[in-house]
């Protein structure tokens, strides 16, 4: 059994912001032209200017918090490329590029791989199995939490172990509204998480209860507001401004929640974290 990362209480631990290195992709070609998750409605109009404004506000928020933000050039015909979190898992400078489930997104792998190679990352490998990057793989402490059930295969979890040399905890998602792990669980710091229990199988909930006994449990309303699709630096937590109760609980526990309007990107089933790939050195 893995040692629990929850060595510090979520209630009393000191909160310290740590500078993050992030990769984003502007939504130049963003639209909802196909449906590959329950949130995508091809009949719902998308305002591209508003999407760009919301994305720019998110990027500026990170920079104002002192984080480094790099951008990758968007490619025509890849409207979901804005959701950079799905592009890869980056850990200790190593890169495992995504192997997307749906044909509509598979072209993103080559576009992102080219950026990593040109930027000097090494090694850079494309996943052999279905693996949707940090959408389904979240590092907390010395462990990777890896989702499965909709987009990332269990076989990919073994590849993660082999490639990165770290323990991987498999978590099964069972609600199609929460098709990626980062829609149902947020890493807050090296010891603590928030999650929506209803998104997971009963055995996975038991695993999370054992590993993180002092987690923030989020209700369905805030989960469906994509409150858990959040980016934390250990103190500041950037998340959907619609998740009001979660923001209150974060504040009560010593974090600094920063609500951002991601309503246009939400039409494709993504919010702050989906737009953000962490380049973990």
Cite the beta strand spans of 99-151 per DSSP E.
124-126, 137-140, 143-148
Residue 11 lies in a domain: no
Element (H, E) at 107: helix 107-118
In this structure, the dihedral spanned by the alpha carbons of residues 9, 239, 136 and 165, taken in order and rounded to 10 degrees, is -50
| pLDDT at residue 219 is higher than 70 | yes
User: Quick one: pLDDT at residue 12?
Assistant: 52
Task: Indicate whether 261 belongs to any domain.
Answer: yes
Per the annotation, the verdict on 180 as an active-site residue is yes
Q: When comparing pLDDT for 5 and 54, which is higher?
A: 54
Q: HSE on the CB side for 86, CA within 13 Å?
A: 30
7 belongs to a structural domain: no
- In DSSP terms, 237 is beta-bridged to 232, 257
For residue range 227-271, list pLDDT tens digits in order: 999 999 999 999 999 999 999 999 999 999 999 999 999 999 999
Decide if 15 is inside a domain. no
The pLDDT of residue 6 is 47
pLDDT tens digit sequence for 176-202: 999 999 999 999 999 999 999 999 999
Residue 100 lies in a domain: yes
What's the domain count of the chain? 1
Q: Which position among 67, 91, 157, 180 bears the catalytic label?
A: 180
* pLDDT recorded at residue 133: 98
1 inside domain:
no
**What is the residue-averaged pLDDT of the chain?**
96
Is residue 29 annotated as part of the catalytic site, yes or no?
A: no
| Active-site hit among 67, 91, 224, 274 | 274
- Selection from 255, 245, 98 nearest residue 180 by Cα: 98
Q: Residue for token digits 């040109």?
A: 118
Confirm whether 95 is domain-assigned. yes
Q: CATH number, domain at 258?
A: 3.75.10.10
Give the chain's length: 281
- 160 part of a folded domain: yes
Backbone angles phi, psi at 230, to 5 degrees: -120, 155
* Average pLDDT, integer, range 222-231: 98
Q: How many CB atoms neighbour CB 52 within 10 A?
A: 16
Name the residue range of residue 93's domain: 21-278
Tell me the helix, strand and coil percentages in the chain, rounded to 5: 30, 20, 45
């Amino acid at each position: 059994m893995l040692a629990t990362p929850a060595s510090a209480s979520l209630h009393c631990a000191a909160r310290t912001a740590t500078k993050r290195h992030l990769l984003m992709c502007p939504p130049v070609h963003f639209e909802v032209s196909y449906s590959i998750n329950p949130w995508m409605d091809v009949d719902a109009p998308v305002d591209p200017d508003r999407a760009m404004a919301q994305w720019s506000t998110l990027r500026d928020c990170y920079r104002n918090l002192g984080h480094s933000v790099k951008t990758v050039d968007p490619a025509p015909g890849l409207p979901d490329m804005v959701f950079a979190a799905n592009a890869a898992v980056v850990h200790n400078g190593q890169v495992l590029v995504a192997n997307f489930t749906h044909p509509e997104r598979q072209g993103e792998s080559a576009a992102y791989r080219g950026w990593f190679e040109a930027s000097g990352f090494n090694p850079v490998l494309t996943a052999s199995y279905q693996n949707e990057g940090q959408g389904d793989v979240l590092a907390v402490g010395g462990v990777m939490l890896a989702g499965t059930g909709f987009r990332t295969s269990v076989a990919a979890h073994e590849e993660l172990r082999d490639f990165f040399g770290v323990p991987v905890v498999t978590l099964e998602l069972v609600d199609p509204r929460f098709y990626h792990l980062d829609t149902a669980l947020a890493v807050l710091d090296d010891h603590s998480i928030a999650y929506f229990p209803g998104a997971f199988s009963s055995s996975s909930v038991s695993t999370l209860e054992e590993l993180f006994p002092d987690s923030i449990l989020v209700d369905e309303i805030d989960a469906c507001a994509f409150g858990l699709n959040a980016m934390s630096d250990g103190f500041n937590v950037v998340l959907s401004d619609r998740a009001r109760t979660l923001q209150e609980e974060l504040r009560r526990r010593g974090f600094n929640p920063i609500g951002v309007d991601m309503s246009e990107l939400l039409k494709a089933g993504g919010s702050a974290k989906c737009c953000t790939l962490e380049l973990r050195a």
